[in-house]
Structure 1
Amino acid sequence: MPRADFYLIAKPRFRDEPLLLVCELAKKALAAGQPMLVLARDAAQAERLDDLLWSFEPDAYVPHQIAGLEPEDGGGEEEEADVLIAPPEADVPLRPLVLNLRDAAVEGAFDRVLEVVPADPSAREPLRARWTQYKARGFDLNKYDM
C-alpha cells in the first residue's frame, strides 16, 4: 500500500526556510539508500533547493541535480543523482520516493510521497484537500510535526 507522509512545519528554522526541511528529508532518504525525486513548484524553487543542498550542513553531502540540466562535466546520466529536483517543465519518471512541493497531489505510481505542510495555517487548506485525495486512493497516511 502506498504511503503519504505529511511533515508539518513547526520549528523556527523550518518556518524561516521551509526548504531546509526538504534538505533534511533528502539527507534521511540518502542515508536509507532511497533515491528521491523532488517535484519543485517552479524553476526558481528548484535552483534555491539546489543551492541549499550544497550548504545546509557543513558535513552533509547529498548528491543531487536539477532534471533537464546537463551535469557539469558533460558526462553521466541525470538518473544517477540520488536526489533529482524536477521543475514542472522537466518530464521525468516518478521514483518510488517522491517529495512534492507542487500545488496538486502526485498522480502515478510510486511507493511513498512526502508532503511539506507550511507553518502558516491559512496556507494549509490545499494540503488538507490533498490528505483527503490520498486517503480516497487508499494510501496509508502519516503526520509528523517538524
Structure 2
Amino acid sequence: MRVEFYVLSTATPADRQRAACQLALKAWRAGMPVFVRGADQAQCEELDELLWHFKNDSFVPHDLHQHNPQAPVVLGLDEPPATSQGLLINLNPALSPHLQQFSRVIEIVNQEPQLLALCRENFRLYRQKGYDPQRVEL
C-alpha cells in the first residue's frame, strides 16, 4: 500500500477540504474508487456540499456512505469501503481501521499546529505498521 502525506502551506481548514475534493476528482477520473474519511459527520456533510460546486466545469459522482456505499466517491467515517483496493483520503485525526482494504492512502496536512502534531504521530504509526509514508509538498 502506498501512503502519502500531502502537505499544504496554509493553516486554513477549507483549503484542506478543497484539496480532498481535487484529489477525489483526479482519482475518480483515473478510474479508482475513492473513500473520503471525515473527522465527523458534519465534515462529511460539508464535503458532500463542496463536491457539488468546488469546480464549476466538472461533476464528481459522490454520496454519503449511509446513502450509497457503492458511489464512485464515498464520504464516510469508520465504515468499511464497499470496494477494496481504492484510494482512502483520510481527513480523520486517527488511522482508518480498514487500511488493508485500500491500495493507496493520502493524509492531507495543513500548518495548523494541533493537526501537524497529529499527522506526525500518524506518520510514525504508519512506519510502525511497516509502511513507508512519503511526504508530498502542495
Give 1:112 deviation, angstroms. 1.3
CA contact (8 A) 2:63 2:69 kept: no
Which of residues 12, 15, 25 is equivalent to 2:12?
15
TM-score, with length taken from structure 1: 0.82
User: What value does the CA root-mean-square deviation take over the aligned residues?
Assistant: 1.8
- AA aligned to 2:137 is D
Gaps of 5+ in 2: none
Question: Counterparts of 1:92 and 1:137 in 2: how far apart (Å)?
Answer: 19
Question: Counterparts of 1:57 and 1:93 in 2: how far apart (Å)?
Answer: 25
- AA aligned to 2:94 is A
In structure 2, do the counterparts of structure 1 residues 39 and 122 end up closer, same or farther at CA, with 3 Å as the change threshold?
A: closer
Partner of 1:73: none
In structure 2, do the counterparts of structure 1 residues 113 and 16 end up closer, same or farther at CA, with 3 Å as the change threshold?
A: closer
Question: Counterparts of 2:66 and 2:105 in 1: how far apart (Å)?
Answer: 22
Partner of 1:84: 74
Map Cα deviations across residues 1-51 of structure 1 (whole Å, 9 max, x no partner): x111101111x5x83612100011001101211011111111110110001
Partner-residue secondary structure (3-state), 2:48? helix
Higher mean C-alpha displacement, 97-106 vs 44-53: 97-106
Q: Identity over aligned residues, as a percent?
A: 32
1:1-146 pair list within 5 angstroms: 2-10=1-9, 15=12, 17=14, 18-69=16-67, 78-88=68-78, 91-93=79-81, 95-96=84-85, 97-108=87-98, 109=100, 110-146=102-138
TM-score, with length taken from structure 2: 0.86
